[in-house]
Copies of this chain bind each other. A is one copy, B any other.
Amino acid sequence: MSVKINLARLKKNIEELAEFGALETGGICRESFSNTDLAAKRWLMEKIRNAGLMAVRDEAGNIWGRLGSKKRSVLIGSHIDTVPEGGVFDGALGVLAGLECLETIRENKLPCNHALEMVAFADEEGAFLNFLGSRSMLGSLDADEISAAKNMNGFPLAKAMADAGLNHRRIVSARRDPSGIKAYLELHIEQGPSLESAKIPIGIVGAIVGIVSYWVTFSGEANHAGTTPMTMRRDALSGATEFYRRINAWIRSNPGGVVTIGKMDVYPGAFNIVPGSVRLALEFRHSSATRLEKMESSFLEIGNTIAEEMGLVFTADRLSWDDPVSLSNNIIGTIRQETDSLGYAYRLMDSGAGHDAQILAQKINAGMIFVPSVGGKSHCPEEKSNWCDIEKGVQLLLNSTLKLVMEYTDPK
């Protein structure tokens, strides 16, 4: 395969898109259905048309580009909305890489046995509703959820969509028949430090982790910090800090997955009062549902054991449980072959963050490619990937797409 992507054109597109919502910090503020996001999507449709493709906005606000009239298609996508002070590459890279692949294939008049599509899914970052666009495409959103959705300022999704010329009641019409899509590919920045620190330019994603979140609480007795001797305290913080220590020791002994305590609320929370209770934000992730269950039971057991040892009370409230999602082994195989052909080093890895691919993977053969994030940073102005790595990632995306689009037989 001697066709090369046009890195200069891709870079120019990424830089142009980065103007929409650019902050003085170097960060980007382009939240879904904001005026900035809508302007960026008009720009994107123009770009799609200028590339000689058909451009469509569906009723969920997803932007589609299409090449060819064959019934089944290979789809490349991601999103162009950002978190409030996000970076240039998260999502945008995948969408514009898709455009670059389609444009390269079109201008090189490469023969295709399937149609080619690209998509920018609406609201991946969940300003109103996590994965709004990809879930609309799969038809997995219900009307109540859509009607109830608000952004963090309390502004309703229905109103934001109306301002964008969309009718939230017609989101159902954004549904696509999954059998019409042979494969979904998404190129994304890693958002972590693993590839960069290992000096490996390509990550091939095997699974997207499941995420479980809990509020856990240790309760003891609030007491006067001056008059209560150390030996007579039931300090809730002794349980909370020991919990942190033991769950971290557990995961060192049982490597795989991650566990985080992102918050510790101490009550009543004064210099001169021994803590009566402490509430911890506990979150853990793993790509295996069995291991996720094992983590859950182990952490709850650790909490109960500590409470018993220390004379405290332990309670745990599960807030969410999102199952891990495995990507298609056939597509992973195709991407690995193409990576080998290109001579790139790669790592098979899990994605620790969520992506539209995890929604599509429920009904469509899906694959993901990662490129390294400098310093592992994302969702911040410092978010960056090196152009030499991006070039490899997009070339691999093109070659994998061509391979899939050439195949007559469906691997599904």
A residues neighboring B (CB under 8 Å): 190-194, 197, 209, 211, 213, 223-230, 232, 235, 237-238, 240-242, 244-245, 248, 251-252, 255, 258-264, 266, 269-275, 278, 281-283, 285, 351-354, 376, 378-379
Number of copies of this chain in the oligomer?
2
Please judge, given known A-B contacts A262-B270, A270-B262, whether A211 and B226 are in contact too, CB under 8 Å.
yes
- Kindly list chain B residues whose C-beta atoms are within 8 Å of the C-beta of A191: 224, 226-227
Please report whether the interface of chain A is mostly helix, strand, loop or mixed according to DSSP: mixed
Q: In the complex the two chains form, is A262's CB within 8 Å of B258's CB?
A: no
A317 to chain B, nearest CB (A): 13
A2 to chain B, nearest CB (A): 35
**Lowest 6 CB-CB distances: which A-B pairs, in order?**
A192-B227, A226-B352, A225-B260, A241-B241, A227-B352, A191-B227
Q: In the complex the two chains form, is B264's CB within 8 Å of A272's CB?
A: no
A-B contact pairs, 21 of them (CB 8 A): A191-B224, A191-B226, A191-B227, A193-B228, A224-B376, A225-B283, A225-B285, A227-B351, A227-B376, A228-B258, A230-B255, A261-B275, A262-B266, A262-B271, A262-B274, A262-B275, A263-B266, A263-B269, A263-B270, A264-B264, A271-B281
A295 to chain B, nearest CB (A): 12
- Kindly list chain B residues whose C-beta atoms are within 8 Å of the C-beta of A262: 225, 266, 269-275
Q: In the complex the two chains form, is B272's CB within 8 Å of A260's CB?
A: yes
Please judge, given known A-B contacts A238-B248, A353-B227, whether A194 and B232 are in contact too, CB under 8 Å.
yes
CA gap between A260 and B232 in the complex, in Å: 13
CA gap between A281 and B273 in the complex, in Å: 10
CA gap between A197 and B223 in the complex, in Å: 15
